[in-house]
Structure 1
Amino acid sequence: MSKTIVEQLADFTAGVDYDRLPGEVVVECKRILLDSMGCGLGAVDQHKGKIGIDYARLVGGTGGEATIIGTPDRVTVLGAAFANGELINALDFDAVLPPGHVTPYVLPQTMAVAESRGRSGRDVIAAIALAHEMSFRFYKSVDYLRDRTDTEMNLSPVLGYSNTVFGATAAIGKLEGSTPEVISHALAIAAATSPVNSMRSWLAHAPTATIKYSLAGALTNASLTAAYLAELGHRGDLPVLDDAEFGYRRFIGTRRWEPHNITAGLGDEWLFPAEQTFKPYPHCRILHAPLHALTEIVVDNDLKPEEIDAIRCWGEAAVLHPLWLSNAIEHTHDAQFSIAHGLAVGAHNITPGKAWHDPELVFGRSVLDLMERVTFQPHPDYFRALSAHPSARPARIEVDARGTTFVADRLYPKGSPTPDPETRMTDAELIAKFRVNAEGVLEDSRQDDIVDAVFGLERIDDFAPVMRLLGTR
């Protein structure tokens, strides 16, 4: 009798081993970890981050074995995973992998379980790899924001990141040493208990809900619940991914279901590094190519915001929705998605980081006045470019200032692996970003220790001391 998809995924999980990982996978896992740690540190004073911390304290107790990033607190694994998911995602500065934000949904549990169990750095790398690979493969099988025809977006009525629950659950089972049978049941339970995909509603309304596309903390806890219920003896619906009529495909609401993309080459081919992206700006990824072009104009010509008469932007055709087009900035959270506000902030040439979400800047007269002089249109080459390469995001910026028009174009946004080697963020750039985020939270020597530990993670016997470097006591 052939194995179900969840059983195949469980076998893959059990077989993942650091020694069998390709070198580029190991490298990307370390980079994801450092970048995410920095994003979490940068958000400890942010509205969304503080709520995550307070909720973790409420449900996680005291004297636990898992660290809340940037605090003196150690709480339960569930509490720490919830808080750290919210922290990593709070600035919208975290790594991106299709179907979107994977890392804040799969990494916090890995960190918390590895810390509480004293797992090795090699174990952590293996868990990060399988969580991202599995999540990416599910994206290849379901509806996605950029599903398109040759001339228009084919936007599904149901969108979201809930399918990351499978990669997260697998990573937990791996770190806990669960058997393939238990992992199979855990994955099936995860399918039946994952949060709904509510992103499509979120795109359509402004001002937006601060839970964002999906609440990171809730998804971290869903995967932990599935993994531990299976370990305790609960039985899952093993055919749930195979049953196209009544199973996961039906109740998760996807119109496209291509499950062969989940299992084809599983264990032999590692797909996620080819599209793993890092964000140089704390703003929705859709604006990164325009921001990079605008920064070039502002820096090369030493433009000041008050000199700018107009900014015209041509960018992603996927963003003609209230979320991105709204100029109503009622909360610092709204500034992470508004195209006009993001370009107005970018024109001020402030180092990207938590400073971009300082209320004095977000609601400052200079930014609010300039955003009224920003216009946006879809780039005419968007669909052609995206069809040619999945990382293409053609953008054009025109700035009217000093009686002339300055122009800059981008095909690929900085931070993505593309045919242009200049777009990839180097280790040095990621370390610099980490330090900007950690500034004011951890002293320089602690930052040095974290960087050294992460880039030498395969030599770490116990991950707990690495996590505790992120605490403040």
Structure 2
Amino acid sequence: MPSTIVKHLADFTTQSTYDRLPKSVVNECKRILLDSIGCALAALDTPKGRAGIEYGRISGSANCMATIIGTGDRVSVLGAAFANGELINSLDMDAILPPGHVTPYVLPGALAVAEAVGASGRELISAIAVSHEMSFRFGKAMDYVRDVKDGKTATPKVFGYSSTIFGATAAIVMLKDLPIEVRGHALGIAGSIAPVNSHRAWGRHAPSTTIKYLLAGALAQSALTAAYMAELGHRGDVQILDDREFGFPRFIGTNRWEPERITKGLGNEWLFPAEQSYKPYPHCRLMHALFDCLIQIVEDNDIQPNEIDSIKAWVEGIAEEPAWLLREIEHVIDAQFSMSHGLAVAAHRIPPGKAWQDPELVFSRTVRDLMAKITTEVHPDYVQLLTNNGASRPGRIELRARGKTFVAESRYPKGSPSPEPGSMMTTDEIIQKFRSNANGVISPENIEGIIHSVMNLESIANVGTMMRMVGTTAAITRDSTVQVPVN
């Protein structure tokens, strides 16, 4: 195989064995896995989650070798990967890493293949590490949703998460232990069948598609297709990343292409843990600093929703798009991005989690009434703050109640590594989030068993033993009823 970027990536998959991973990378992979399983379990009763499960059953009834999380279903690798991708991403509570969402695209195929081939925990850790590092590097090499230029928002006309197909495919070929030549062809095929970057259209149209910025299940299946086609003898385009005029950078729509950011130090420097973030709230990440501020105000001052006269919020510039400005909520997924709806829910002081997207709360009169009292505008300093530190997601809240104005401001939302102590979500906090998401879905014994298995993943001889716990539903009734305050 010629010396190309694809060849470099294929070599990376063979060199990145568990024994060569830094401890920080191993720990981050465990955190990602536990958080993602919890997000999937919490989403079983959501419309997107249910649709993903049903499609997974339809497309995966033969060769029942992999588990749909939170169900008793064992289906094909393709079916499980689709369903689990949709479940992980359904609540929009999954982990965040540039170029944006990575895990719901790269983890599902790896989990399904790991279970099917009887991979060890160490092999799964290596695959998770490679898929996230590779995806992160592509994200840094291409146009990005939070790009700025000349002190203003410079959101590109075309961008998205299609490039995660390379990381997703890399994880699969590692777990299948394919020869180096075949791995290169799989990555070349992946580039040729990557989904289009439709993210901008989704954000510009409201109400927008409920599959969101990129259907997680579809990309997970595309990565599996790339790996299996290479294994079955198909040849991939190994020059696809080197050709800026006609190759992947051109047809995927990026204006910026800095391939040295993909390859420089690859295998020796692990960059993704420094920017891996986790979401305490089931809502678009750009709102999280605002939620932190608003919840602090209403809890510290015991303010009830019916006492609030107005809420004014300052947010980063990319929120000035129809998907975030939406006020007519027709579907629970609309609520995951609407700024006014998210702030109205946060003001109700309901613990963040799957309850935030319970239809009884989403469409309640008290939430709708409060939305009418909320205004938003662009934070005047967000470009400067973002330029100085990429972890910045500045937010400011001014709340009027009881004849007073309450103010709170935050630069770094909870969940991200940053210069601010306490902003990073600790492993204990991720475990608590998992327990909350899994509660009532799987048995308490399995909740603790999964935590123990993931935190000691390097000791597991066969990932299938863990997946059996993930796939066993609790013999109790799930109750997502939310107590909604009445004005």
Q: How does 1:48-447 map to 2 (within 5 A)?
A: 48-61=48-61, 64-447=64-447
Closer/same/farther in 2, CA of residues 117 and 41 from structure 1, 3 Å limit: same
2:449 aligns with: 449
Aligned-pair distance for 1:179?
1.3
Aligned-pair distance for 1:472?
2.2
CA distance in 1, matches of 2:368, 2:63: 45
Q: Which residue identity does 2:271 align to in structure 1?
A: L
CA distance in 2, matches of 1:60, 1:117: 16
SS in 2 for 1:310: strand
Aligned-pair distance for 1:292?
0.4
CA distance in 1, matches of 2:202, 2:317: 18
Aligned-pair distance for 1:328?
1.2
Q: Render the CA deviation track for 1:428-471: whole Å, top value 9, x for unaligned.
A: 11111111111111111110000000001011111001011111
Moved over 6 A (4+): none
- The question of whether the paired residues in 2 share the 8 Å contact of 1:62 and 1:73 is answered with no
CA distance in 2, matches of 1:417, 1:351: 23
- The question of whether the paired residues in 2 share the 8 Å contact of 1:62 and 1:74 is answered with no
Aligned-pair distance for 1:7?
0.4
Q: Which residue identity does 1:378 align to in structure 2?
A: V
- The question of whether the paired residues in 2 share the 8 Å contact of 1:115 and 1:463 is answered with yes
TM-score, normalised to structure 1, is 0.99
Q: Which residue identity does 2:175 align to in structure 1?
A: L
CA distance in 1, matches of 2:450, 2:382: 40
Q: Render the CA deviation track for 1:82-120: whole Å, top value 9, x for unaligned.
A: 000000000000000000010000001111100111111
Aligned-pair distance for 1:392?
0.5
Q: Render the CA deviation track for 1:120-149: whole Å, top value 9, x for unaligned.
A: 111011000000000000011111101111
Which sections of structure 2, spanning at least 5 residues, go unmatched?
Answer: 474-487
Aligned-pair distance for 1:295?
0.8
CA distance in 1, matches of 2:34, 2:344: 29
SS in 1 for 2:310: strand
Q: How does 1:6-25 map to 2 (within 5 A)?
A: 6-25=6-25
SS in 1 for 2:408: strand
SS in 1 for 2:314: strand
CA distance in 2, matches of 1:21, 1:247: 32
SS in 2 for 1:422: coil
CA distance in 2, matches of 1:352, 1:427: 18
- The question of whether the paired residues in 2 share the 8 Å contact of 1:292 and 1:414 is answered with yes
CA distance in 2, matches of 1:258, 1:7: 17
Question: Are 1:470 and 2:440 counterparts?
Answer: no
CA distance in 2, matches of 1:282, 1:94: 8
Q: Which residue identity does 1:130 align to in structure 2?
A: V
SS in 2 for 1:406: strand
Q: Which residue identity does 1:458 align to in structure 2?
A: E
Percent identity over paired residues: 60
Q: Which residue identity does 1:209 align to in structure 2?
A: T
Aligned-pair distance for 1:150?
3.7
CA distance in 2, matches of 1:428, 1:407: 30
- The question of whether the paired residues in 2 share the 8 Å contact of 1:206 and 1:328 is answered with no
TM-score, normalised to structure 2, is 0.96
CA distance in 2, matches of 1:76, 1:156: 38
Which sections of structure 1, spanning at least 5 residues, go unmatched?
Answer: none
CA distance in 2, matches of 1:393, 1:55: 36
Closer/same/farther in 2, CA of residues 178 and 2 from structure 1, 3 Å limit: closer
SS in 2 for 1:393: coil
- The question of whether the paired residues in 2 share the 8 Å contact of 1:66 and 1:115 is answered with yes
Q: Which residue identity does 1:411 align to in structure 2?
A: R
Q: Which residue identity does 1:175 align to in structure 2?
A: L
CA distance in 2, matches of 1:167, 1:213: 18
CA distance in 1, matches of 2:137, 2:96: 14
SS in 2 for 1:140: helix
2:484 aligns with: none
CA distance in 2, matches of 1:421, 1:33: 24
SS in 2 for 1:191: helix
CA distance in 2, matches of 1:139, 1:239: 19
Aligned-pair distance for 1:49?
0.2
CA distance in 2, matches of 1:80, 1:462: 18
2:477 aligns with: none
Q: Render the CA deviation track for 1:146-195: whole Å, top value 9, x for unaligned.
A: 11114211121111100000001000000000111111100000000111
CA distance in 1, matches of 2:431, 2:348: 23
Q: Which residue identity does 2:88 align to in structure 1?
A: I
How many residues get paired? 473
Aligned-pair distance for 1:421?
2.4
Aligned-pair distance for 1:62?
5.4
Aligned-pair distance for 1:2?
6.0
Q: Which residue identity does 1:79 align to in structure 2?
A: G
Q: Which residue identity does 2:279 align to in structure 1?
A: K
- The question of whether the paired residues in 2 share the 8 Å contact of 1:324 and 1:337 is answered with yes
Q: Render the CA deviation track for 1:257-310: whole Å, top value 9, x for unaligned.
A: 111111000010001001000000000001000000111101111111011111
| Residues 242-251 or 62-71, more deviating | 62-71
CA distance in 2, matches of 1:44, 1:450: 17
Q: Which residue identity does 1:405 align to in structure 2?
A: T
Aligned-pair Cα RMSD in Å: 1.0
CA distance in 2, matches of 1:349, 1:208: 28
CA distance in 1, matches of 2:229, 2:15: 22
Aligned-pair distance for 1:63?
6.2
